[in-house]
Structure 1
Amino acid sequence: MNRILLIEDEAQLSENIAELLELTGYDVQVTDRAEQGVEMLFQNPPDLILCDVSLPDREGYYVLEQLNASSLVIPFIFVSARVDTQDIRRSMELGADDYIMKPFNTPDLLAAVKARLLKYGRIRRILLGE
Structure 2
Amino acid sequence: MTTTAEKTMQRILVVDDEASISELISTSLRFVGFDVRTAANGAQALAMAEEFRPHAMVLDVMLPDLDGFEVCKKIRNEGVDTGVLFLTAKDGMEDKVKGLTLGGDDYMTKPFSLEELVARLRALLRRTGVDHIEIDDEKMRFADLELDEATHEVRRAGNLLDLSPTEFALIRYLIINADRVVSKSQILDHVWQYDFRG
Is the pair's TM-score, using the shorter chain for normalization, greater than 0.5? yes
Does residue 108 in structure 1 map to residue 116 in structure 2?
Answer: yes
Give the Cα separation in 1 of the matches to 2:120 and 2:130: 16
Distance in 2 separating the partners of 1:45 and 1:86: 29
Query: Quick one: distance in 2 between partners of 1:122 and 1:10?
Result: 28
Q: Deviations over 1:42-82 (max 9, x none)?
A: 12211101100000112101110111112221110100011
CA deviation after TM superposition for structure 1 residue 118, in Å = 1.1
Structure 1 CA distance, aligned partners of 2:130 and 2:76? 20
Detail structure 1 runs of 4+ shifted over 2 Å in the superposition: none
Matched, 1:73 2:97: no
Alignment correspondent of 2:101: 93
Larger Rg: 2
Identity %: 33
In structure 2, which of residues 33, 47, 53 is the aligned counterpart of residue 39 of structure 1?
Answer: 47
Structure 1 residues 95 and 13: alpha-carbon distance in aligned structure 2, compared to 1, 3 A threshold: same
Listed as ranges, the gaps of 5+ residues in structure 1 are 124-130
Q: Quick one: higher RCO (CA 8 Å, sep 6+), 1 or 2?
A: 1
Match of 2:34 among 22, 26, 34: 26
* Equivalent pairs, count: 123
**What is the CA distance between 1:95 and its match in structure 2?**
1.7
Corresponding residue for residue 127 of structure 1: none
Q: Structure 1 residues 122 and 30 mapped into 2: Cα distance closer, same or farther (>3 Å)?
A: closer
TM-score normalised by length of structure 2: 0.60
Cα distance 1:66–1:11, how it changes in 2: closer, same or farther (>3 A)?
A: same
SS at match of 1:57: coil
- Alignment correspondent of 2:22: 14
Tell me how far apart the structure 2 counterparts of residues 84 and 33 of structure 1 sit (CA, whole Å): 22
- The TM-score normalised by the length of structure 1 is 0.90
Q: CA–CA distance in 1 between the matches of 2:32 and 2:79?
A: 29
Q: Name the residue aligned to 2:68.
A: 60
What displacement does 1:122 show? Answer: 6.2
